[in-house]
Structure 1
Amino acid sequence: MRSIKQPGAPVAERIQWVEARGRAFTFTLQAGVPLLEAARRGFAAEGFAGGVLNFGRGALGPFGYVMPALSKTGENAAFYSDTYRPQGITRTKLGSMTLGSRAGAPFFHCHGLWTEADGKASGGHMLPDETIVVEPFEVAAFGIDAAMFTAEPDPETNFKLFGPVAAASTGARTTSRVFALRLRPNQDFASCLEEFCRAHGIARAKIHGGVGSTIGARFTHGGVTEPFATELAITAGAIAPGAFGALESALDVALIDYTGGIAEGRLIRGGNPVLMTMELVIEVLG
């Protein structure tokens, strides 16, 4: 399987995880508000300090983002491009967000695909401090209680990355047992989720959110993304018994690579290693 050498030594625990409680809900992002604050308000209205969300068509402007890029210094296995700030209104196609905390304040990690006002199709990593909601749009959210994605230095990748940590309960109403996860580099995306579920006695689960990167991509429809640096959003995901009874992950994703190539589809099992990180929430269904 493909792998990329990271600047730091691998951490022994390859999945960072916290068991928690959670609940799915929808809300509408308010217009005229920074995307970060609009997301924070939506979760707070339901009693949550953080969680994950997925969205489809929306409108942003002003808007700032970066794409994956090669590292210029060698201090990281890959890096970010310079900031893009397209003029006019950018229309999102899809995206996934992790809402957590950085330096004690709300922060998000958000990847998606969109079309800019001039018709350019693009995607990447949205910048919290440069992105404004210009028209209201609805999102599908999943709040988590007793866990928080918190940005901390990661010696392996030499980035500050979101990872789940235990947190005080906010008393939010919850309906489900959940696990907040961060997958570390150079392990197959699907396989490690299946192994995690087996180890925790989970027979069936739904994935909420999903923000991260894979080393290129291999899809069940036969498509291949060769450039190794990507920014990826999960659009739908589940883990359930396959035809022969063993757990199988179904992971539908959308991504952009560092050359600007865009791809969507279901990832093959056993052929899509994590590049830097993968953040998601697993809702236990059985």
Structure 2
Amino acid sequence: MIATLTHPGPAAPDRYALVPCHAEPVTVTLPPADTLAQSAALALADYDGGWLEIAVAPLANLDFVIPGEDPTGTHAAWYAGPFRMGAGTIRHLGMHVGRKEGGPWIHGHGRFAAPGWSGPDFGHVLPFESHLSRPATAQGWGIRGARLDVEPDPETAFPLFQPRAVGPRPDPNAALVTLRPNQDLLSALETAATAAGLGEARILGLGSLVHPKLQGQTRIDSHATEFLVTEGRLSGGVAEIEIDLVTLGSLRHRGRVERGVNGICITAEFLLVGR
């Protein structure tokens, strides 16, 4: 059974959103810019959006947050921080590249490090407060025909990425998918993938879970966690996902998601690329 949270707004009737798209594998260079979001947008300027992963890269300034309590009680979960690492290093960052209010935006989770740093080492990177110190190489997927745009979400009272169709969509081979709270991660993703006509696919993305349970491990005592998919695949319509995650207390866990017991906290956002 999944653990759930009570959100401030009414539950939307549709529990997932998806838009088919065309995805192409890319290796790109992120140039230094005023913000990390701008760097990512410039690297994918030939595409409508995409998913990028950075293995290692130095940042002139690295700010991030981890899950936390909402002091106002407005939201079911919130953020702790920001943690200002300063001139830190990305050890592994995965990010959706989209738009917010007409400008570039990213949603990225990853691992970070810096000399003498004793704080959390995994979290949600802040797109405007962080920026590269020199060009960085990223690999991933550029997409055409769809993009993630930030929109208000009445259910959670958060501004969240949602997939939108944009421009022409040549030869769809992928889908952008977002999942709503309080449903099992794997089951919900499989339902959306079936609707997209994808039975075999790579699973790329991130999100948040409530009291997650990883295979062979005890249930994690944290009502809000943020995760990054480190390996994911859909085979015969069945999803298997391995993740890194961070808890309310900044503890980091890694493992394979157990079926039927991992409720989505705020959102989960995926690019499914057909195989």
Same fold, TM-score > 0.5, yes or no: yes
8 Å contact 2:98–2:106 — kept in the other structure? yes
Q: Which residue of 2 aligns with 1:226?
A: 221
Q: TM-score, normalised by structure 1?
A: 0.89
Q: Does 1:93 align with 2:91?
A: yes
Percentage of identical aligned residues: 29
Question: Alignment length, in residue pairs?
Answer: 273
1:133 to partner: Cα distance = 1.1
CA distance in 1, matches of 2:155, 2:172: 32
8 Å contact 1:249–1:269 — kept in the other structure? no
CA distance in 2, matches of 1:49, 1:196: 22
Give deviations 1:202-250, integer Å, cap 9, x for gaps: 2211113x12111132112425322111121112211103xxxxx3211
Q: Which residue of 1 aligns with 2:35?
A: 34
Q: Which amino acid aligns with 1:262?
A: R
Q: Which residue of 1 aligns with 2:6?
A: 5
8 Å contact 1:95–1:235 — kept in the other structure? no
8 Å contact 1:54–1:235 — kept in the other structure? no
CA distance in 2, matches of 1:25, 1:64: 26
1:22 to partner: Cα distance = 1.6
Q: TM-score, normalised by structure 2?
A: 0.93
Q: Does 1:64 align with 2:66?
A: no
CA distance in 2, matches of 1:49, 1:203: 25
8 Å contact 2:175–2:196 — kept in the other structure? no
Q: Which residue of 2 aligns with 1:80?
A: 79
8 Å contact 2:48–2:166 — kept in the other structure? no
Q: Which residue of 2 aligns with 1:186?
A: 182
Q: Which stretches in structure 1 are left out of the alignment for 5+ residues?
A: 242-246
1:155 to partner: Cα distance = 0.3
Give deviations 1:166-202, integer Å, cap 9, x for gaps: 1123x8xx67511111100011111111222334442
Q: Does 1:17 align with 2:51?
A: no
1:32 to partner: Cα distance = 6.1
User: RMSD of aligned C-alpha atoms?
Assistant: 1.8
8 Å contact 1:113–1:255 — kept in the other structure? no
201 and 128 in structure 1: CA distance in 2 versus 1, 3 angstrom threshold? closer
Q: Which residue of 2 aligns with 1:244?
A: none
Equivalent residue in structure 1 for 2:199, among 189, 196, 203: 203
Q: Which amino acid aligns with 1:193?
A: L
Q: Which stretches in structure 2 are left out of the alignment for 5+ residues?
A: none
8 Å contact 1:23–1:176 — kept in the other structure? no
